[in-house]
Structure 1
């Protein structure tokens, strides 16, 4: 049958990325406590398209996933990207996995146990045979405003914030490391299950450690600077302000290589 995608484009212009997104796929990720964890990822795959081609072969992205092991680590990720490049006859390929990662957390005073989910992601860009591999985690925390606390006779405004960490690194890096760095950066971590004694502890801990969004992003960046394997990072903190009709945010990006 006629291969329309390989026909000449009426507008001879290269496309940086063309592909598919919104695919769901069961995957296996490394878990520091239990060894492995089964989860489900939202997947996007894309390649570059030369100016002379009208379109790409979308079905081949799905075929590449069908032949992939589903075991998410650096080497299998490289295998998937190599396969996408070969199937699509492309110069570059990009794959993104976004998935919930679960950790069992004990409440700080009662010891009550509950699962916390963290949105994590892996990005891979393979271009001219070189792979850029990025690992990230979005970590919720609680923050208390230092200014509000300083000027108020009673209380201060507090809110949830999100610490979004993206890293490139040498060797192997646990998602737990990124999550712990993010949780340490806020006024206090958040929990899925709290009894009354836990709520008291969380409230008092947070109010004893008020933080601006600037404080949080600097603390997270400091933790990433001190991690021996991380050589590049970008950390963004967004504070979902409780007394404003907007969010506050701060970003630090740094290359330590």
Structure 2
């Protein structure tokens, strides 16, 4: 037997119903994919994989944030581990209105709760991936007609000091983009969105700096990572930028 510690061992990809707080409706019902793991010391041959499934099914039929936090504690206790890790990925839906006609449609955003525990110290983060439009300032400056634009994904991962709505994170990102993205647009809306993006050009660097400035100014955010990837429409590559900051460390 090799006497080597394992950092994480567990299960991935188990689906389970969840409940999430919704600013407009009170709560939202969706389906989450769980990844769960614990550390394994070298003197243990293996972990008890079935116990992860038992822990998920031992909670309510629909797991919520309180259940998620309790599961973190439970996995290290039940599996006799020094550290535990859970990721809960789920689609989150918002009803959006088109900017001119007011046509309603649902937009889905990918969200994750990420929790870690070591001994008695637990920490959790929330991650939201927000699709937006970005229009290139350089292309606009050198072109007589138009400018290239594309869909971009901005991923925001935060550790909070107080409650923050998923909707707030989405709004902060969309406010810094060339334009938000909508599920349904009529012709008048398309004209508005196209012209709005043209009037608000953003490099990938602008995207991450703008969102980071908003997170810096928000006292409920303790630490964050902001990533932006532009899926370039005229290049055979994406462009990318990242800003990470622990505001507690920065203050120190």
Same topology, TM > 0.5: yes
State the number of aligned residues. Answer: 247
Give the Cα separation in 2 of the matches to 1:105 and 1:34.
14
Q: TM-score, normalised by structure 2?
A: 0.96
Q: TM-score, normalised by structure 1?
A: 0.94
Pick from 12, 16, 24 the counterpart of residue 21 of structure 1.
12
Secondary structure of the residue aligned to 1:85 is helix
Aligned partners of 1:12 and 1:52 also within 8 Å? yes
Q: CA RMSD in A?
A: 0.8
Unaligned runs of 5+ in 1: 1-9
Does 2:206 align with 1:215?
Answer: yes
Aligned partners of 1:136 and 1:178 also within 8 Å? no
Q: 1:57 Cα shift?
A: 0.5
Q: Which structure 1 residue ranges, 4+ long, deviate > 4 Å from structure 2?
A: none
Aligned partners of 1:168 and 1:232 also within 8 Å? yes
Q: 1:169 Cα shift?
A: 0.6
Q: 1:71 Cα shift?
A: 3.5
Q: Which residue is 2:168 aligned to?
A: 177
Pick from 229, 235, 238 the counterpart of residue 244 of structure 1.
235
Cα offsets for 1:169-215 (capped at 9, x unmatched): 11211101111111112100010000000000000000001110000
Secondary structure of the residue aligned to 2:202 is coil
Pick from 108, 113, 117 the counterpart of residue 104 of structure 2.
113
Secondary structure of the residue aligned to 1:28 is strand
Give the Cα separation in 1 of the matches to 2:23 and 2:83.
32
Q: Which residue is 2:72 aligned to?
A: 81
Pick from 32, 40, 63 the counterpart of residue 41 of structure 1.
32
Give the Cα separation in 2 of the matches to 1:52 and 1:251.
40
Give the Cα separation in 2 of the matches to 1:150 and 1:136.
34
Q: Which residue is 1:136 aligned to?
A: 127
Q: Which residue is 1:95 aligned to?
A: 86
Give the Cα separation in 2 of the matches to 1:129 and 1:119.
30
Give the Cα separation in 2 of the matches to 1:181 and 1:131.
27
Give the Cα separation in 2 of the matches to 1:41 and 1:71.
9
Secondary structure of the residue aligned to 1:193 is coil
Give the Cα separation in 2 of the matches to 1:158 and 1:83.
47
Give the Cα separation in 1 of the matches to 2:18 and 2:38.
22
Give the Cα separation in 2 of the matches to 1:227 and 1:68.
34
Give the Cα separation in 2 of the matches to 1:172 and 1:211.
30
Give the Cα separation in 2 of the matches to 1:43 and 1:245.
34
Q: Which residue is 2:193 aligned to?
A: 202
Secondary structure of the residue aligned to 2:158 is strand
Secondary structure of the residue aligned to 2:51 is helix
Does 2:183 align with 1:192?
Answer: yes
Aligned partners of 1:85 and 1:91 also within 8 Å? yes
Aligned partners of 1:217 and 1:237 also within 8 Å? yes
Does 2:34 align with 1:55?
Answer: no
Aligned partners of 1:161 and 1:239 also within 8 Å? yes
Q: 1:250 Cα shift?
A: 0.2
Q: Which residue is 1:64 aligned to?
A: 55
Aligned partners of 1:95 and 1:123 also within 8 Å? yes
